[in-house]
Chains A and B, each alone.
Chain A
Amino acid sequence: MIHICTARNRHLYADQLRTMHRQRYELFVKVKRWNLTVRDDGEYDEGDDDRAVYLLSLDEGGSCFGSIRVRPADDFSMVIDRMAHHVQGDAQALREDPGLWEMARWINIGGDPAASQEVRIGLIEYLLRRRATQCLALPDVEMMAYALRVGWRLRALGAPTPYPEGGIAVAVSLPIAATEVSYLRDLTGRRDPFLMEIDPDAPWAGLPLSIIETAYRDAAKAAANGDQLAGMADEHLRQAALGKVA
């Protein structure tokens, strides 16, 4: 399942977000040696604000093993505001598209590749809901090559450009369209819904995430779409909150 963590329900994910920032520190700062801001043993940047949405992959115990940040790019963007030299032409002109978002800091530590499929499909499905039309990113060449092989039809926005820490990155745009979702779902054979967003006002919102995760996983086996998934999981979790089921 992919948990949609927004400013509204972020308090429910305090431990998972702490883990995510810690993993980002270990990977991007200590392993890749990127020059980034570190505090409280975690890596943070200007994009980690109230407008950030984290798509989180949790294991059965509720621990976060995968994450990616998506965020509207109209007021802040790594590509446009920090790395504009990776874009051929005027990077600011990208903002003429009101549906411009950006993804960054993708991590999937030891995750099953199925979880990555969920991220590749779920990210587009979520951004479609938010009326996005394209999503910027700045992957390393190896990552971009891999993403192309597994079905993300990324469009390059400039040349592969070396960065000071030693890699070569390419600014890209991922088209956000229903056709892309269909293509990926056909490619992978995945028909199950896997996006879930916890309503913090739900009576069961305070249950442990491991219980919520399990309820959604079970519901996903029978649900035909996201609405059914939410309804079935809600019903089960209301029972759980009342102590009627384990």
Chain B
Amino acid sequence: MVSVAASEFLTTATRCETAEALHASLLTFAQALGFHSAMFVNLANAGGPVLPKVLLGDLDPWIDYYTEQNFARLDPTVPMAFRSRTPFTWRSVERPDAPRPVREFFGEARDGWADEGLIVPIHGPFGEFSVVNLLCDEPIKLSKPEIGIIQAACQLYASLGLTLATGALPLPLDNLPALTKRELQCLFWMCVGKHDVETGRILGISAHTVRGYIDSIKVKLGVETRPELSIRAQASGLLVPDRHGMF
């Protein structure tokens, strides 16, 4: 059921020429799964403050109210969206022992918007964070594989939506740290878990030389450890697929 709906959604979505048509096709997909509405919200750009902004979807009065009240400071789904790589429901982050303002926030959300929501985190390749909210009035009963397919469909919807709304990315980015090709190669293999000896074997250089390249990158990026380097590389767009490819 989810697979058929996702297939129909994607074959339509990849042919849409407007953001509105794309969103309408997501809505059809979502409704087939029991959701009544959907919304694509940008939460923050890399390193920027949390400023939720609806990119695609119906502008329910609740959204204006949410913004006016600055509910993002109370809403536990916001920090969860940053932490999580997989979709989660409102109920999964709602704690009965939460502070009263948080409980009141959920109460108001249910009165004014929806009873339950599935939040699909979208981690963009350049450190940007957004979510696709799928809303319903019944408890969500989807299996893990079904949620995986929904996540994939939402990820592609987000990518298509951004492209239609703001245009494709031309690249190359010119604000990235200047690393040599060899440094980038060493960085990539380090980030996928290779130790220096293995990287050296792949690149035809010694482990000692690999270590030298990694040390040089650490200096250029202003970090001291390899885990920090890995995180910084990810967040700064040094590991976008353009720099490693693969399918």
A residues near B (Cβ < 8 Å) are 22-23, 26-28, 31-32, 59, 63, 65-66, 68, 88, 104-114, 116-117, 137-151, 153-162, 168-170, 172, 187-189
* C-alpha gap A148/B183 in the complex (Å): 27
Does A146 contact B241, Cβ atoms closer than 8 Å?
Answer: yes
* C-alpha gap A41/B11 in the complex (Å): 39
- Residues of chain B within 8 A of A109, CB atoms compared: 184-185, 188-189, 243-245
In the complex, residue of chain A having the shortest beta-carbon distance to the beta carbon of B176? A113
* C-alpha gap A51/B46 in the complex (Å): 44
Query: With A111-B242, A155-B14, A159-B4 in contact, do A188 and B170 touch (Cβ < 8 Å)?
Result: yes
Query: With A111-B242, A187-B168 in contact, do A149 and B162 touch (Cβ < 8 Å)?
Result: yes
* C-alpha gap A237/B142 in the complex (Å): 63
Closest CB in chain B relative to A112 CB, distance in Å: 6
Which of B90-98, B110-118, B148-156 interfaces with chain A?
A: B148-156
By DSSP majority rule, is chain A's interface helix, strand, loop, or mixed? mixed
Bitwise interface map of B from 1 to 21 toward A, beta carbon under 8 Å scored 1, else 0: 001101110110111000000
A-B contact pairs, 19 of them (CB 8 A): A28-B246, A105-B246, A109-B189, A109-B244, A110-B181, A111-B242, A137-B247, A138-B247, A141-B155, A142-B155, A145-B156, A146-B159, A149-B159, A151-B169, A156-B10, A158-B10, A160-B6, A160-B156, A187-B167
By DSSP majority rule, is chain B's interface helix, strand, loop, or mixed? helix
* C-alpha gap A136/B242 in the complex (Å): 19
B residues near A (Cβ < 8 Å) are 3-4, 6-8, 10-11, 13-15, 125, 145, 148-149, 152-153, 155-156, 158-160, 162-163, 167-173, 181-189, 192-194, 202, 204, 240-247
Does A146 contact B240, Cβ atoms closer than 8 Å?
Answer: yes
- Residues of chain B within 8 A of A106, CB atoms compared: 245-247
Closest CB in chain A relative to B187 CB, distance in Å: 7
Does A160 contact B159, Cβ atoms closer than 8 Å?
Answer: no
* C-alpha gap A105/B244 in the complex (Å): 11
In the complex, residue of chain A having the shortest beta-carbon distance to the beta carbon of B237? A113
- Residues of chain A within 8 A of B156, CB atoms compared: 141, 144-145, 148, 156, 160, 170
* C-alpha gap A26/B4 in the complex (Å): 35
* C-alpha gap A146/B202 in the complex (Å): 26
Closest CB in chain B relative to A146 CB, distance in Å: 5
- Residues of chain A within 8 A of B204, CB atoms compared: 63
Partner of B149, one of A63, A113, A143, A160: A160
| A-B interface contact total, Cβ < 8 Å | 168
- Residues of chain A within 8 A of B158, CB atoms compared: 145
In the complex, residue of chain B having the shortest beta-carbon distance to the beta carbon of A26? B202
In the complex, residue of chain B having the shortest beta-carbon distance to the beta carbon of A111? B243
- Residues of chain B within 8 A of A59, CB atoms compared: 181
Query: With A111-B181, A148-B160, A156-B156 in contact, do A162 and B148 touch (Cβ < 8 Å)?
Result: yes
In the complex, residue of chain A having the shortest beta-carbon distance to the beta carbon of B122? A145
* C-alpha gap A150/B184 in the complex (Å): 20
Does B246 contact A113, Cβ atoms closer than 8 Å?
Answer: no
Shortest Cβ-Cβ A-B pairs, 6 listed? A110-B184, A160-B152, A110-B185, A156-B10, A159-B7, A113-B172
Does A113 contact B240, Cβ atoms closer than 8 Å?
Answer: yes
Closest CB in chain A relative to B196 CB, distance in Å: 14
Closest CB in chain A relative to B221 CB, distance in Å: 15
Does B193 contact A139, Cβ atoms closer than 8 Å?
Answer: no
Does A108 contact B245, Cβ atoms closer than 8 Å?
Answer: yes
* C-alpha gap A155/B7 in the complex (Å): 11
* C-alpha gap A83/B145 in the complex (Å): 18
* C-alpha gap A155/B181 in the complex (Å): 32
Does B159 contact A117, Cβ atoms closer than 8 Å?
Answer: no
Does B172 contact A112, Cβ atoms closer than 8 Å?
Answer: yes
In the complex, residue of chain B having the shortest beta-carbon distance to the beta carbon of A186? B170
- Residues of chain B within 8 A of A161, CB atoms compared: 3, 149
In the complex, residue of chain A having the shortest beta-carbon distance to the beta carbon of B162? A149
